[in-house]
Structure 1
Amino acid sequence: MTDSGRELDLVIYGATGFVGRLLADYLARTAPDGVRIALAGRSQAKLEATRAALGPRAGDWPIVIADADDPVALAELASRTSVVATTVGPYAKYGTELVTACVAAGTDYVDLTGEVLFVRGSIDAHHDKARANGVRIVHSCGYDSIPSDLGVHVLHRKVRADGAGELTDTTLVASLSGGVSGGTIDSLRTQIDVSRGDAALRRLAASPYSFSPDRTKEPDLGRQSDVAMVDGTGIAPQVRGWKAPFVMASYNTRIVRRSNALQGWVYGRKFKYREVMSVGDSRLSRVYAAGVAAILGGLVLGLSVPPTRYVLDRLLPAPGDGPSEKTQRNGYFAMDIYTTTTTGARYASRVAAQGDPGYRATAVLLGESALSLVLDRDRLPDEAGVLTPATALGDVLVERLRGAGVEISARAL
């Protein structure tokens, strides 16, 4: 356990939300006996109903009442537990006070954010104090961005073990099936709102090095296109068809680059990273990829303009909404990462799992991240601060996820 002096090991904050309930259910089924878990949120009645639906293993889990804008209640929550796992977003609206409380209390923290400006603000406000307090603040422990971050992590480990040099041009190709996340859409809305009318914030959000610990020390790699259409043969000889822009590329790439920088550019100072999405390998793949690019561009533009945003807000999934049980069960993701090393060797890694990426699979990813902090603290990397999944949890999380049925592998091509 992380701290036997605390009353609790883990608090699930936002346990009555769609993803919060999935996380609570996962932990109720899989957490080892003796892990002291509590459910937290705003409503006593809703929390009690959630607990009742989880079955007998959760029957004695405590309930903690704390509103996201009540710093006193959040400070008390953080002081009672060793780890907080929060699903309450958009994090720019509802996450700042909780991070502050965890850093002050010496409490480790994991979340699901995919918001560039929130994470940059967290780094600026809390990294140094979290390091001094020995606290791990670990953002993006769901589908955004564990498959990307750990996929590059194991790829680097394999290349280094083989003595094949360092990583250079590296591309993730995402394949997935699942429902559209209302939370992800709301995070996009929030980022648009926060940066509207502020050119400096827009430039920060657009920078490939938004999360860099020191931009002046980053290697000069020229322009890096995080959102792009790519011919598969330009990724690796065995990759066929054109690839479309990936909706989370502009976020995940920044997490991976921060992992590299926090570790002294261990992946390589010539490491260039991008993400794209598979739309099949037929002769029409270029047309499909262009269609995806147009849709993504139109979505961002539509949410930025009041008249079209009014319409989109009524058509797109709302926060807290989620896909059906069948969609969650039948969903999947597979992230294949290809690289060429400084010795000219080619390698690939894969992170794949069954279950809707943004919901059922994310509950596994976040749950095992939290349990890594609760149960395996003495085996984790000796790091503290505002970290990434790879730098905070590393091989421990890889091991836990493999045990939970997630494929994580790397190989020479």
Structure 2
Amino acid sequence: MSDQPRDHDIVVYGASGFVGALVARYLAEHAPAGTRIALAGRSEARIAEVKRRLGVDWPVLVADATDVPALERIAAATRVVVTTVGPYAKYGKALVRACAAAGTDYADLTGEVLFARQSIDDNHELARSTGARIVHSCGFDSIPSDIGVHVLAQQVTADGAGELTDTTLVVTSMRGGISGGTIDSMRHQLDVVKNDGKLRRVAASPYSLTPDRSAEPDLGRQDDTAVLSGSAVHPRLRGTLAPFFMASYNTRVVRRSNALRGWEYGRAFRYREAMSVGASPLSPVIAHGTRLGLGALMAGLSLPPTRYVLDRILPKPGEGPDEQSREKGHFTMDLFATTTSGVRYSARFRAKGDPGYAATAVMLGESALALAHDRDALPATEGGVLTPATALGDALVTRLRAAGMEIAARRG
């Protein structure tokens, strides 16, 4: 990050949106005294209303997502930008470029493979030259996955147990719905790849976010939609595991972290994600049905007649559950791994709050605070387009634990 004086420590871009307002509220309640925060977006009146509801005296900055000069002024005026404005492939490119050029740290909530790939291609070297940490995917996509593996690998290394090999994240418990923003991003990416075979191949590759595909070890086919036997993942797991709908993005982020760290997790590190559907005799049926359902959702969003129907059923961008529903949400993700020495390890990432809203606001808010206040505790890096693990690492782990999230790893 540039050492030039800035007017603000953190700017929340998209503060009048549903998730943006939740992040702003989290910062209003938890940012250390003296943190200079500003709210930004395209509507001054709507941002002013958020400011009024929060009861804060923060500056209001106005910039449309297509107004490059205005976005450049925002990036130059702050140390950190956090943005909740998506789909990012449609609305986020100019802002991330402005931050990379200005040496301004940046964090978002994207779960879009093609946006992240283009951001890497367009901004990684520029951000390295300015020292900017461009950190994509700082919410439920993909902090539990990326930070969970980070903590797991640290424990293995501390114990001298070798390196990670087969590693599986299992969503063992979750309450909360998929956000409208996630659905909108899904729609946009499907539209983009529909008539472009090259982009389809990029989106489908398990190594689509790694720095150099040719440098990756040949680990064979890695299927992010596989149905798995629980006992094959770990002896204490029962039933059949279904595909996890966010695996196709999260797995790519974790693989990028491993590559950026020079394959510290292991050259034989194979990573996948799944979801528990219980241990009843019906779990195989439910798991295979889940896989078919995910495929049907993708197909339905790709075809105009079925998309018309789905658009009236699925959550819309800018909408979300009420506060009571958000507070009742929760998630638990357990990781199971075997090391090169043959030892089993496990880790857990558990949090209260609706994953896509309440918990995501905490994760993005704490990511911003780590960038703004924990410079000496962040992983050593020249900057670039990074991941939560490689940009924030232990500083974020400490913050999330202090915020009430359980993050732990152990042998066995």
Range class of TM-score, shorter chain: over 0.9
Corresponding residue SS for 2:274 = strand
Residue 190 (structure 1) aligns with? 188
Question: Which amino acid in structure 2 is aligned with residue 410 of structure 1?
Answer: A
Q: Deviations over 1:25-52 (max 9, x none)?
A: 1010000000000000011111111011
Q: Deviations over 1:268-327 (max 9, x none)?
A: 000000000111111211111122112111100001111111111122111111112222
Residue 97 (structure 1) aligns with? 94
Residue 398 (structure 1) aligns with? 397
Residue 144 (structure 2) aligns with? 147
Corresponding residue SS for 1:142 = coil
Residue 11 (structure 2) aligns with? 11
Equivalent residues of 2:137, 2:143 under 8 A apart: yes
Q: Deviations over 1:42-82 (max 9, x none)?
A: 11111111011113xx2x10000000000010000101000
Residue 104 (structure 2) aligns with? 107
RMSD: 1.0
Corresponding residue SS for 1:276 = strand
Question: Which amino acid in structure 1 is aligned with residue 234 of structure 2?
Answer: A
Corresponding residue SS for 2:355 = coil
Q: Does 1:66 align with 2:85?
A: no
Provide the C-alpha distance between the structure 1 equivalents of 2:42 and 2:401, rounded to a whole number of angstroms.
34
Equivalent residues of 1:172, 1:335 under 8 A apart: yes
Runs of 4 or more off by more than 3 Å in structure 1? 1-4
Residue 29 (structure 1) aligns with? 29
Equivalent residues of 1:2, 1:374 under 8 A apart: no
Q: Report the number of matched residues.
A: 410
Q: Deviations over 1:168-216 (max 9, x none)?
A: 0000001311023100100100110111100000000000000010111
Equivalent residues of 2:184, 2:316 under 8 A apart: yes
Q: Deviations over 1:251-284 (max 9, x none)?
A: 0000000000000000000000000011111121
Provide the C-alpha distance between the structure 2 equivalents of 1:290 and 1:2, rounded to a whole number of angstroms.
50
Corresponding residue SS for 1:352 = strand
Normalised to the residue count of structure 2, the TM-score between the two structures is 0.98
- Structure 1 unaligned blocks of 5 or more: none
**Deviation of the 1:2 alpha carbon:** 8.1
Question: Which amino acid in structure 2 is aligned with residue 122 of structure 1?
Answer: S
Corresponding residue SS for 1:349 = strand
Q: Does 1:162 align with 2:159?
A: yes
Q: Deviations over 1:10-33 (max 9, x none)?
A: 000000101001101101000000
Provide the C-alpha distance between the structure 2 equivalents of 1:70 and 1:367, rounded to a whole number of angstroms.
25
Residue 357 (structure 1) aligns with? 355
Provide the C-alpha distance between the structure 1 equivalents of 2:26 and 2:391, rounded to a whole number of angstroms.
22
Provide the C-alpha distance between the structure 2 equivalents of 1:53 and 1:4, rounded to a whole number of angstroms.
32
Q: Deviations over 1:357-397 (max 9, x none)?
A: 00000000000000000000122112110000000000110
Corresponding residue SS for 1:67 = coil
Q: Any residues of structure 2 matched to 1:128-277 within 5 Å, and which?
A: 128-174=125-171, 175-277=173-275
Residue 80 (structure 1) aligns with? 77
Give the alignment partner of residue 379 of structure 1, picking from 377, 380, 397. Answer: 377
Corresponding residue SS for 2:333 = strand
Question: Which amino acid in structure 2 is aligned with residue 54 of structure 1?
Answer: L
Provide the C-alpha distance between the structure 2 equivalents of 1:89 and 1:352, rounded to a whole number of angstroms.
26
Provide the C-alpha distance between the structure 2 equivalents of 1:233 and 1:82, rounded to a whole number of angstroms.
47
Normalised to the residue count of structure 1, the TM-score between the two structures is 0.98
- Structure 2 unaligned blocks of 5 or more: none
Cα gap change, 1:31/1:4 in structure 2, threshold over 3 Å: closer, same or farther?
farther
Corresponding residue SS for 1:370 = helix
Give the alignment partner of residue 366 of structure 1, picking from 364, 367, 379. Answer: 364
Provide the C-alpha distance between the structure 2 equivalents of 1:215 and 1:26, rounded to a whole number of angstroms.
38
Residue 123 (structure 1) aligns with? 120
Provide the C-alpha distance between the structure 2 equivalents of 1:387 and 1:321, rounded to a whole number of angstroms.
29
Equivalent residues of 2:2, 2:102 under 8 A apart: no
Equivalent residues of 2:167, 2:271 under 8 A apart: yes
**Deviation of the 1:3 alpha carbon:** 5.0
Question: Which amino acid in structure 2 is aligned with residue 129 of structure 1?
Answer: L
Cα gap change, 1:326/1:2 in structure 2, threshold over 3 Å: closer, same or farther?
farther
